[in-house]
Homo-oligomer: A and B are copies of this chain.
Amino acid sequence: MTTRQLHLNAFLMNTGHHEASWRLPESDPYAHVELSHYVGLARIAERGTFDSLFLADGPQLWGNLAQRPAGALEPLTLLTALATATEHIGLIATASTSYNSPYNLARRFASLDIVSGGRAGWNIVTTAGAEAARNFGLDAEPAHAERYARAAEFLEVARKLWDSWEDDAIVADKAAGVWGDDRKIHPPRHQGTYFAVEGALNVPRTPQGYPLLVQAGSSEDGKAFAARYAEAVFTAQQTLADAQTFYADLKSRTRAAGRDPGHVKVLPGIVPVLGSTEAEARAAERLLEDHIVYEHGVGRLESLLQLPAGTLRLDGPLPADLPPESAIEGAKSRYTLVVELARRERLTVRQLVGRLGGGRGHLTFAGTPEQVADEIETWFTQGAADGFNIMPAVLPSGLEAFVEHVVPLLRARGLLRTGYGPRQTLRERYGLPRPANQYLTPDPDPAPALV
């Protein structure tokens, strides 16, 4: 038994993370806009005592409708509905710092945090791609470094807004007719490069103070941002060695940024494909691969690699002369991960498309529940992970199988809680402190701290 415990996050994505999952007989092709589908998933994850669930997002209609389910309920809307259908699980959504204003977004996360009793988390993204930019009046996406500079300022403003009410600003003195104490309200009066925000938020400080701050970019800019702000990091790592390098690097960057490295939890993604034998698991994996339309995958790969359409041949390798990551203005770390995966394993384009179809660059692991639990334990105990972002290939069945067959093993090994116990905030589940209010006047006669 160890006292250090795994953190598990359920990454929910309509019929599953495998691009062909919607074609299976069991799958609901309208799942992406069915509240009941997501309520079912959230409740399964809560049965598995996951720390949190997560919804990715981008403010554009992705890709080609013919190929696979597109569109999604706006994630904070969906999480609010899930907040009322669950009791313990954390609720994390992606939202873009490039295409939102701090006042509106800070308020929406504060509102979700209140409605959920302190279970809100924000996966902070800068949003790559010209398609999104063109939905917001821009011709092209801002440069990568500029997106991150804006993100940093966005975070600073959001934290000022979340701190703009002291926790005890509401007095509620009915007899005197005094509702609140204006001296405990702190307008940000922010004048920066990207934002000017004058007034205090119109929501009181929330149970968590700030939502849990999550980040998933693994580029240089992304890692620097994570070291400064993130409390949980989602990352795609294909090998234990790569994951260990990433883990050590991020913890050391966090220390260098003056923060406790224990206050950044690293969660690699894993796509578990389960079978009661290894052969059964491999067969399940092949069944999914058989449903991939490879021509579609090649087009998406060309777009990711910024190659003209028609460049790649299905049974050939990637071109040798791809540009370096520094020349890419889009999703930098994903670009490198895909190129390295193809080169390391000498994959043909067809094989690469098959691999990406399963988890878009995340580690797919087909095996028995014991094998999956072993893999998780190894990464967790060998300095590669504080937990995992569980990305079932097929939903709901893959999540159900994980909760039914892998979770009991993790519990038996002392790696995962057996129940939620008393209600906790999402921060408390992740072992993170509630942030102090930056505006708080030190108490001239402080009582002893109760920590």
A contact set with B: CB distance below 8 Å: 20, 22-25, 27, 29-30, 33, 35, 58-62, 64-74, 76-78, 80-81, 83-85, 99-101, 103-104, 107-108, 110-112, 114-115, 131, 134-138, 164-165, 169-170, 172, 174, 177-182, 185, 195-204, 291, 293
Cα distance A201–B72 in the bound complex, in angstroms = 10
Copies in the complex: 2
| Cross-chain pairs A/B with CB under 8 angstroms, 7 sampled | A30-B170, A61-B199, A70-B202, A71-B201, A81-B84, A131-B199, A138-B196
Q: A67-B179, A71-B204 are in contact. List 19 more A-B contacts (CB 8 A).
A: A58-B202, A59-B104, A61-B200, A65-B181, A65-B185, A69-B179, A73-B114, A73-B203, A74-B104, A74-B108, A81-B81, A84-B84, A99-B101, A99-B103, A100-B104, A101-B136, A103-B135, A131-B198, A137-B197
In the complex, which residue of chain B has the Cβ closest to the Cβ of A200? B61
If A77-B112, A104-B59 touch, whether A179 touches B136 (CB-CB below 8 Å) is: no
Taking CB atoms, residues of chain B closer than 8 Å to A29 are 170, 172, 174, 179
Q: Bound complex: CA of A293 vs CA of B74, how far in Å?
A: 42
**Which of B72, B83, B204 sits near A202, CB closer than 8 Å?**
B72
Complex Cα gap A165–B80 (Å):
25
Interface SS majority for chain A:
loop
- A35 neighbours in B (Cβ, 8 Å): 114-115
User: Roughly how many angstroms separate A135 CA and B103 CA in the complex, as a whole number?
Assistant: 7
Expressed in whole angstroms, the minimum distance between the Cβ of A426 and any Cβ of chain B is 17
Query: How distant is A211 from chain B, measured CB to nearest CB, in Å?
Result: 13
Most buried by B among A59, A65, A100: A65
| Inter-chain contact B179/A70, CB cutoff 8 Å | yes
Please tell me if the beta carbons of A65 and B179 are within 8 angstroms of each other in the complex: yes
Return A362 CB to nearest CB of chain B, in Å.
22
| Shortest distance between the CB of A383 and any CB in chain B (Å) | 39
The answer to whether A204 and B33 have CB atoms under 8 Å apart is: yes
Q: How distant is the Cα of A185 from the Cα of B66 in the complex, in angstroms?
A: 11
A81 CB to closest chain B CB, in angstroms? 5
Cross-chain contact A78 with B111 (CB below 8 angstroms):
yes
Question: Are A177 and B291 interface neighbours, CB within 8 A?
Answer: yes
Contact assessment for B66 and A180 in the assembled complex, using a CB-CB cutoff below 8 Å: yes
Interface centre among A68, A71, A134 (most CB of B within 10 A): A71
Given known A-B contacts A69-B179, A179-B66, A181-B66, A111 and B203 have beta carbons under 8 A apart: no
Minimum Cβ distance to chain B for residue A33 (Å): 5
